[in-house]
């Protein structure tokens, strides 16, 4: 068995090779063809991932069916000049979908995707919060961080409550949790109807309507993975005779 060499950057060895410093003018098909020809000598390739978006330009991922092949490829190909630029190789920080499917099967792949989606939504929530702090927070309100929020708000011409509201995360970017908040429901939608829709997802517990409040409901799951799947599948789903799309977000904690 080939020796698995550790990464200089400290990333644990795995089956996926992260490739960067590729020529950005190459088309995706050209990148994949070139990488396949170069890396296929080191073992069976499960997938090659390269994307068109600006943030991912010049990068790709080569997924082998075993870590030994990935390790040998990194050791021998790192620095290879491809179309005028030396490639920089390392292990990928996260497992690829192809590697998860190959090693652990389709059920673990679905769980892996849910975890990735949850992490993405948490990151979006944090980014939204930071953006609001920068855009909405008035000049001089930085003093609020030193324990004097009310004084800082008054100095900026705002009520303390207005300053606090500037850091509220929009509903669309709330971090995942196990309870969904459903809005814009038609008046004739009852708990039984909602159960038939949301009860299809893993870990469903209950639907809770709010007495005296039409158009809203809460749906609870045993854990956030079920809520993530349900939110992804039902957000914007048309309901009722008029087919009005419902809004599905996570409950504010």
Whole-number pLDDT of residue 168: 60
Span between the terminal Cα atoms of the chain, in Å:
51
Domains of the chain, first to last: 16-102 (3.30.70.330), 172-250 (3.30.70.330)
CB 34 within 8 A of CB 87: no
Give the mean model confidence (pLDDT) for residues 50-76: 86
Whole-number pLDDT of residue 116: 72
Residue 243 pLDDT level (bands cut at 50, 70, 90)? confident
Whole-number pLDDT of residue 34: 93
Residue 138 pLDDT level (bands cut at 50, 70, 90)? low
User: How far apart (Å, rounded) are the C-alpha atoms in residues 26 and 195?
Assistant: 50
**pTM exceeding the 0.75 threshold for the entire prediction:** no
Q: For residue 57, how many C-alpha atoms fall within 13 Å in the half-sphere facing its CB? A: 8
Asked if the model's pLDDT at residue 122 lies above 80, the reply is: no
* Three-state DSSP class for residue 21: coil
Asked if the model's pLDDT at residue 104 lies above 80, the reply is: no
Asked if the model's pLDDT at residue 221 lies above 80, the reply is: yes
**Phi, psi dihedrals of residue 88, rounded to the nearest 5°:** -115, 120
Asked if the model's pLDDT at residue 89 lies above 70, the reply is: yes
Asked if the model's pLDDT at residue 62 lies above 60, the reply is: yes
Three state DSSP letters for the chain: CCCCCCCCCCCCCCCEEEEECCCCCCCHHHHHHHHHHHHHHHCCEEEEECCCCHHHCCEEEEEECCHHHHHHHHHHHCCCEECCEECEEEECCCCCHHHHHHHHCHHHHHHHHHHHHHHHHHHHHHHHHHHHHHHHCCCCHHHHHHCCHHHHHHHCCCCHHHHHHCCCCCHHHCCCCCEEEEECCCCCCCHHHHHHHHCCCCCEEEEEECCCCCCCEEEEECCHHHHHHHHHHHCCCEECCCCEECEEEECCC
């Amino acid at each position: 068995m080939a020796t698995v060499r550790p990464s200089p950057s400290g990333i644990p060895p795995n089956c996926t090779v992260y490739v960067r410093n590729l020529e950005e003018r190459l088309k995706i098909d050209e990148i994949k063809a070139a990488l396949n020809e170069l890396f296929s000598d080191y073992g069976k390739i499960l997938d090659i991932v390269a994307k068109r978006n600006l943030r991912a330009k010049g990068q790709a991922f080569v997924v082998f069916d075993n870590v030994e092949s990935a390790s040998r490829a990194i050791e021998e190909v790192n620095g290879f000049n491809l179309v005028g630029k030396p490639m920089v190789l390392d292990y990928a920080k996260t497992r690829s979908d192809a590697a998860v499917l190959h090693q652990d099967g389709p059920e673990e792949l679905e769980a892996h995707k849910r975890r990735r989606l949850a992490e993405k939504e948490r990151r979006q929530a944090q980014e939204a919060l930071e953006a609001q702090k920068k855009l909405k927070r008035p000049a001089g309100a930085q003093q609020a961080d030193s324990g004097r929020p009310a004084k800082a708000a008054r100095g900026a011409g705002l009520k303390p409550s207005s300053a606090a509201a500037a850091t509220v995360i929009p509903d669309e970017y709330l971090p995942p949790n196990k309870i969904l908040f459903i809005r814009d429901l038609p008046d004739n939608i009852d708990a039984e109807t909602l159960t038939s829709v949301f009860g299809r997802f893993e870990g469903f517990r209950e639907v809770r309507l709010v007495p005296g409040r039409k158009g809203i409901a809460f749906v609870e799951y045993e854990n956030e993975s079920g809520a993530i799947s349900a939110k992804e599948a039902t957000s914007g789903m048309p309901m009722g005779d008029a087919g009005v799309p419902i809004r599905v977000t996570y409950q504010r904690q």
